[in-house]
A and B are shown apart, each in its own frame.
Chain A
Amino acid sequence: GAVVSQHPSWVICKSGTSVKIECRSLDFQATTMFWYRQFPKQSLMLMATSNEGSKATYEQGVEKDKFLINHASLTLSTLTVTSAHPEDSSFYICSARDLLAGGPIETQYFGPGTRLLVL
């Protein structure tokens, strides 16, 4: 089945630094990936849609200059949290859809998530 990986699985950084999170589709090509954020005991909130070869589409209220998204290839999207602050501490999860597979195109495959703690 379709597998999505994320790296790193967890990261601790100092306030003001930037953190890059990678999302990879391991056995399929993903022209579109999605980035979600989940605070403790809360739901997943869609941050942005990452489109291969073009600019990402951000949800209302998400700062595009703070959360930089790059979808450089059909198997890799990166999310960079710039100048991270303690309030950015969260669980960041990516997902991807395998639009070329023979199965349902609507199924989103989630990565294992990256836990970010900003001190």
Chain B
Amino acid sequence: GENVEQHPSTLSVQEGDSAVIKCTYSDSASNYFPWYKQELGKRPQLIIDIRSNVGEKKDQRIAVTLNKTAKHFSLHITETQPEDSAVYFCAAMQLSGGGADGLTFGKGTHLIIQP
């Protein structure tokens, strides 16, 4: 099955600086890579995702890059703000026609934005 590694486990950055979280996956058949933000005790919220036919995707201060050859993808957050503090999870999945695939998550990164 799929195995997703995520680093670092904790990341502390100054407000206004950029944050980068990296993930690798093992199954070359995976073709969908979402990133979730989870605040304490709450449900994961999708913040950005990318399919394997795209190398980069950006949404305002958030961007995701994908390197299929190396089987790794990264989350980039620029101009960080205090409300960005949360746990971020990467995930991987193989999209199929039946649509019946669950997500394999990384272990999470606790992002701390220092004021």
Partners in one complex: yes
Which A residues lie at the B interface, using CB under 8 A?
31-32, 34, 36, 42-46, 49, 51, 57, 59-60, 93, 95, 97, 99, 104-108, 110-113, 115
Q: Please, which residues of chain B bring their CB within 8 A of the CB of A57?
A: 100
Which B residues lie at the A interface, using CB under 8 A?
1, 32, 34, 41-46, 49, 51, 89, 93, 95, 99-108
Asked if A43 contacts B43 (CB within 8 A), the reply is no
A107 and B99 in contact, given A44-B89, A60-B1, A113-B43 (Cβ under 8 angstroms):
no
Give the shortest distance, in Å, between B106 (CB) and chain A (any CB): 6
* One of B42, B103, B104, B107 near A108 (C-beta < 8 A): B103
Query: Taking chain B's interface residues, is the majority helix, strand, or loop, or is none over half, making it mixed?
Result: loop
Asked if B32 contacts A106 (CB within 8 A), the reply is yes
Q: Please, which residues of chain B bring their CB within 8 A of the CB of A59?
A: 102
Q: Please, which residues of chain B bring their CB within 8 A of the CB of A108?
A: 34, 46, 103
Q: Please, which residues of chain B bring their CB within 8 A of the CB of A97?
A: 99
* One of A44, A49, A104 near B105 (C-beta < 8 A): A44
For A113, the closest partner residue in chain B by CB is B43
Asked if A112 contacts B42 (CB within 8 A), the reply is yes
A93 and B43 in contact, given A32-B100, A49-B100, A99-B99 (Cβ under 8 angstroms):
yes
